[in-house]
Amino acid sequence: MSSVPFAYNARARRYRNIETGRFVSVKVVRAAVDTVIGVEAVKLKALAFKLNKGEINFAEWQLQSMAQIKALHVSMGLAANGGLKNATPSDLGYIGSLVKEQYKFFRNMVKDIRQGKQSLDGSLLARVGLYAQASRGTYEKAVERAAKAAGALESKSELGIADHCAQCVSEAQRGWVAIGSLIPIGERTCLQNCHCMIVYK
Amino acid sequence: VDKELKAKLGEPLDFTDEELDQMAEINPSDLKVAVKLWENAAPEPFKKLLEATVEKDV
């Protein structure tokens, strides 16, 4: 199967497969999002592995990792907003603010390395992988922002394919609730590992 | 970190809030890189998803 052209309907907040004329389900888009995150997590870990081995220096690792984090979070923000041609300057400003949040977390991790609180071992690989997983939160936040802008009033948390934390289960059991009242993806007990998704109406 | 590796790695860069602000700004080249990242990592048939056209309501 090769790549097909898509259109994005801002009112429906859905992608349409131009070949079939059908809307693409939000779950299918989210599955593609999860695939991209998985691929990029491996790349971020590979960079940290190079640092651990002394194949790149701190500055190279920082700059390359930050560039990759930015590219991933921007791609997630674009995916949530209908792609490059549909994203507005306001959307990009919002995505940029989320990138900055990640940069601050990354700076804290570098500080931990400097202070000896973070070792250059396997635990660093696990930690950098979370920056890729955190882009799932960027996607979900951008989706919620777009839903609010389009007039959605309610949201519902749906369990993904994963081992669920108790908070994810209880949030899913709430059913449809006022938009903004669910605990955001990435801020529950399972943090960045959350595979749930939120739908809107 | 042993001394030899520490010397090899050098010192981490220290960024101010203002520098992070600037670095987080999204410019046209960032958008190209992000679209390329998606295209390389996304499964078929969604590699061109971020190049979706604008669908007008009729």
Judge whether A135 and A73 are in contact, CB under 8 Å. yes
User: Which distant-in-sequence residues (6+ apart) come within 8 Å of A200 by Cβ?
Assistant: A13, A143, A144, A147, A152, A154, A155, A156, A179
Question: Is it the case that residue A5 has pLDDT exceeding 70?
Answer: yes
Taking CB atoms within 8 Å and a gap of at least 24, the contacts of A22-29 are A26/A197, A26/A199, A27/A197, A29/A79, A29/B46, A29/B49
Reference A127, options A100, A141, A108; nearest CA is A108
Chain-chain contact of A3 with B55 (C-beta, under 8 angstroms)? no
Label residue B1 by pLDDT band (50, 70, 90): low
Tell me, what's the pLDDT at B51? 97
Joined tokens for residue A126: 């696990």
Task: Quickly count: other Cβ atoms within 10 Å of residue A159's Cβ.
Answer: 15
Q: What is the ipTM of this complex?
A: 0.93
Is B24 part of the contact surface with chain A (CB cutoff 8 Å)?
yes
Average pLDDT over residues A124-151: 94
Nearest CA in chain B to A104: B20
Nearest CA in chain B to A21: B55
> What does residue A158 show for φ and ψ, rounded to 5 degrees?
-120, 135
Gap from A140 CA to chain B (nearest CA, Å): 16
Q: Distances in Å between the alpha carbon of A74 and those of A43, A68, A88, B33? A: 16, 10, 13, 9
C-alpha angle B9/B12/B18, rounded to 5°? 160
Chain B hits for A3, CB-CB cut-off 8 Å, are 44-48
Chain-chain contact of B15 with A120 (C-beta, under 8 angstroms)? no
Most A CBs within 10 Å, among B25, B49, B56, to test the A interface: B49
User: Residue B41 is nearest to which of A11, A40, A120, comparing CB atoms?
Assistant: A40
Average pLDDT over residues A107-129: 93
pLDDT higher for B23 or B2? B23
Judge whether A99 and B26 are in contact, CB under 8 Å. yes
Average pLDDT over residues A152-157: 95
Chain A hits for B33, CB-CB cut-off 8 Å, are 67, 71, 74
Tell me, what's the pLDDT at A93? 97
- Give tens-digit pLDDT for B5-23: 888 899 999 999 999 999 9
Reference A136, options A92, A76, A82; nearest CA is A76
Q: Return the minimum-mean-pLDDT range out of A52-61, A141-150, A188-197.
A: A188-197
Is B43 part of the contact surface with chain A (CB cutoff 8 Å)?
yes
- Give tens-digit pLDDT for A61-117: 999 999 999 999 999 999 999 999 999 999 999 999 999 999 999 999 999 998 989
